[in-house]
């Protein structure tokens, strides 16, 4: 059984601070990793994807991947109230039927 | 033009009834999924189909039966609905290799 774990939160940060979201996964054969954001009552939407070890930056968002430690994280710099949402980590195991598993989600609140 | 569309958006029904949720994608993807999201926001995978073939059935009760008439459609039929089936059900589709999953709008099922 493949597992994806996230720090459950809820996480609260003041506006302008850095929010740090973490995710671990159980299988070393994992190939690609994704962070989704989900606003209440809406569908998950992709923020970032990462496939190689290291950092990947996109605007205020930075994804970090460490395959040896089976760990992926998302940093949100200069957090805004509009970033308040649930953040979902997803792992794709392509060699076993394109499986796409989600973590338990972390609720983030940015306080103005 | 909606990429992944599912209907209905809301479904309220009595215990013991049978209901269906429809999903269609126009992205040309080979893989489609059904997820169940409970009140704690955990997106649990239920089924995965690749080119009309069932790949994943994550210990879902037999009352849930997916049907894929072609690779663009994956419908979910639920027999003998129970209170515990109340949740938001998401359909998603995904291409091969390191690509993201795209989600439908979700169906909020309420069993009374």
Q: What is the pLDDT of residue A1?
A: 59
Mean pLDDT of the A84-104 span: 87
Q: Which two tokens stand for residue A37?
A: 């954001």
Alpha-carbon distance B64 to B42, whole Å? 19
Contacting residues of B for A34, CB less than 8 Å apart: 100-101
Asked if B42's CB is within 8 angstroms of A100's CB, the reply is no
Q: What is the pLDDT of residue B43?
A: 93
Q: Is the CB of residue B55 less than 8 Å from the CB of residue B94?
A: no
CA A50, A13, A76 angle in degrees (round to 5)?
20
Alpha-carbon distance A50 to A109, whole Å? 24
Mean pLDDT of the B4-26 span: 97
Percent over 90 (pLDDT), chain A = 79
Q: What is the pLDDT of residue B58?
A: 78
Alpha-carbon distance A79 to A21, whole Å? 12
CA A6, distance to chain mean position in Å, is: 8
Alpha-carbon distance B108 to B9, whole Å? 6
Averaged confidence pLDDT in chain A:
92
- Residue B66: pLDDT over 80: yes
Tell me which of A83 and B98 has the higher pLDDT.
A83
b (16+ CB within 10 A) / e for A52-82:
eeeeeeeeebbbbbeeeebebbbbbeebeee
* Closest to B41 in 3D by CA, of A41, A48, A93: A41
Residues of chain B contacting A, Cβ within 8 Å: 30-31, 33, 35, 40-45, 48, 50, 55-56, 90, 92, 94, 96-98, 100-101, 103-106
DSSP string of B65-106, one letter each residue: EEEEEETTEEEEEE-S--GGG-EEEEEEEE-SSS--EEE---
The model's confidence at residue A3, banded by pLDDT at 50, 70 and 90, is: confident
Tell me which of A2 and B81 has the higher pLDDT.
B81
Asked if A92's CB is within 8 angstroms of B98's CB, the reply is yes
* Cβ neighbours of A28 (radius 10 Å): 8
- Residue B1: pLDDT over 80: no
b (16+ CB within 10 A) / e for A89-111:
bbbbbbeeebbbbbbbbbbbebe
The model's confidence at residue B78, banded by pLDDT at 50, 70 and 90, is: very high
Alpha-carbon distance B56 to B59, whole Å? 9
Q: What is the pLDDT of residue A2?
A: 66
Mutation pick from A100, A105, A109 vs chain B, by most beta carbons of B within 10 Å, is: A100
Mean pLDDT of the B79-97 span: 94
Alpha-carbon distance B57 to B9, whole Å? 24
């Amino acid at each position: 059984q493949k597992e994806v774990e996230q720090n459950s939160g809820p996480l609260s940060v003041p506006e302008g601070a850095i929010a740090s979201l973490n995710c671990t996964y159980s299988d070393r054969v994992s190939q690609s990793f994704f962070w989704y954001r989900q606003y209440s009552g809406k569908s998950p939407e992709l923020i970032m994807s990462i496939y190689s070890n290291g950092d990947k930056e996109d605007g205020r968002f930075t994804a970090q991947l460490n395959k040896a430690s089976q760990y992926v994280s998302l940093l949100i710099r200069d957090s805004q109230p509009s970033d308040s949402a649930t953040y979902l980590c997803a792992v794709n195991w392509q060699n076993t039927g394109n499986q796409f598993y989600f973590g338990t989600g972390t609720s983030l609140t940015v306080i103005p | 033009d909606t990429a992944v569309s599912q209907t209905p958006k809301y479904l309220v029904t009595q215990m013991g009834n049978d209901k269906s949720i429809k999903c269609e994608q126009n992205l040309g993807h080979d893989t489609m999924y059904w997820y169940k999201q409970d009140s704690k926001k955990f997106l649990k995978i239920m089924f995965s189909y690749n080119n009309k073939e069932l790949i994943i059935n994550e210990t879902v009760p037999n009352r849930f039966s997916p049907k894929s008439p072609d690779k663009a459609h994956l419908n979910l039929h639920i027999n003998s609905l129970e209170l515990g089936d109340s949740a938001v059900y998401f359909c998603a589709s995904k291409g091969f290799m390191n690509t993201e999953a795209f989600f439908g709008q979700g169906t909020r099922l309420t069993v009374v």
